[in-house]
Structure 1
Amino acid sequence: MHREIHRRQAGAKIDGVLIQKYLPKGTELLIGCKRDPQFGPVLVFGTGGVFTEILNDISLRIPPLSKEEFLNMINETKVGKILAGARGTTAVNFDQLTDYLASFAQLVMGNPSISEIDINPLLAYADGFVALDARVTLG
């Protein structure tokens, strides 16, 4: 690779190489939480990725939540229908997704120094989830 780069661009300086695992396309989700001064932590779930703000497909809850409440939160969104296996796609494991959301909510409730946190996108697959980007604000 270095030879090819130098062949095409003599004198090119290469400081390093980044190798990343290829991930197939998954359903992009957003999970997040913002600590409200009046209500405490407010959990958000919905469509993630580059169209989060455009689609505005989210559901909000104040934790703690039961498994049924997490399922309701998911099913209120359009992306919830996609996750269920819309138009021939393979459904995700909803038990695993609700466990993921419960762990996320527990993380926020157990750490009062977190004022905001989000994972966007969280890629959803039939066999699991992969967080591609996360942001945490303390204070």
Structure 2
Amino acid sequence: MPSRLRLLLVDENAAGTFVAREAFEGMGEAVGLNTCRSGRDALQALRDSQGTPPDVVVLDINSPGQDGFGVLTAIKADPRLVHLPVVMLSDSELPADVQRAYSLRASAYVVKSREFPIFLQQIDALVGFWKLCRVMGKPIRAVAG
């Protein structure tokens, strides 16, 4: 049986983090969740990690100090982190934000539903997809390019 999907959630908003944590933890043993309150903290945690890196980084666009786009850019510019899938999880539906995320090599862009039952479905789909992208519990490493 594959191991848990390890996620790093980066969201500066305490209420947003709470709601997302509830949704991800509702997945039970399928998900191991760590959180960071800022992009700077996330990058430090990813770079300083002595353990296993997350399978997927989930970023909010609005992070203090360095927004989600800046964090995404830093991840994709770091040879040690470039392989990590990054999912943008945002309230923004602006086409410019979606286009920018993909141009910076985001793996996916999810607009958070304001309706909690639909948000739970989004999280279920996100977790299900990334679990299927792993082979024998190991993440598939993307080729930088």
Would the TM-score normalized by the shorter structure come out above 0.5? Answer: no
Higher helix share: 2
Higher strand share: 1
Please report the TM-score for the alignment, with normalisation by the length of structure 1: 0.32
Please report the TM-score for the alignment, with normalisation by the length of structure 2: 0.31
